[in-house]
Structure formats: structure tokens, C-alpha cells
Amino acid sequence: MITAGRIVRLAEPDRAQLHFFLDGEKRSALAGDTVLTAMLGSGHALRSSEFGPEPRAGFCLMGACQDCWVWQDEGPRLRACSAFVTEGMKLRTTPPENWP
């Protein structure tokens, strides 16, 4: 189900639903959502700042600020604003333990 997150969907509602996992919990998104849209559709942050106490939720959405990098259970880190969410994707707001 889609729980209340940071973003509000204003248009383009008639897209196929898909599922992904966020920190192990199953969440819904729509086909064509970026990872950022998907994560903030049901959450309020993408990651924590490495240098302060505050959570981060992206800033520029055009690939310039690099604020929105998130992790996957397996596979490379993703820039949430430019990567698209895919069915079954396992996303994390914290680095996996074996992340270098």
C-alpha cells in the first residue's frame, strides 16, 4: 500500500502499480517513478547526512547536487533522482554492512 509520504501526486495517476522494498518493507510505486519519487511517496527521507543529524531527501533533482544517492541490498548505489524504480528493487536508506 502507499502510505503518506513527503510527496503529493498531482497528475499521471493511471500508470501500472509495481512493488519494491524499502529497508525490507514492501512498498508500492507507479511505473515511471524515479527511485526518489517512489521512496518519498511513502517516506520522508532518502538517507541520513554523514556530517550532521538531519535526514536528507534530495535537493536539485537534476543530477548536479548528488544529495540523493541511496543504496540497494545488492548492486550499485543509485542517484535516486535519475534512476527509475523497478519491480522488486530492494532499496536502503543506509549502506548495507558489506558495502565498501
- Residues binding another protein (CB under 8 A): 6-15, 31-34, 37, 40-41, 44-45, 49-67, 69, 76-77, 81-82, 84
Cβ burial, residue 33 (10 Å; 0-12/13-18/19+): buried
- The span from the CA of 47 to the CA of 57, in Å, is 7
Contact call for residues 59 and 68 (beta carbons, < 8 A): yes
The minimum distance between CB 25 and another protein, in angstroms, equals 17
The minimum distance between CB 85 and another protein, in angstroms, equals 11
The minimum distance between CB 39 and another protein, in angstroms, equals 12
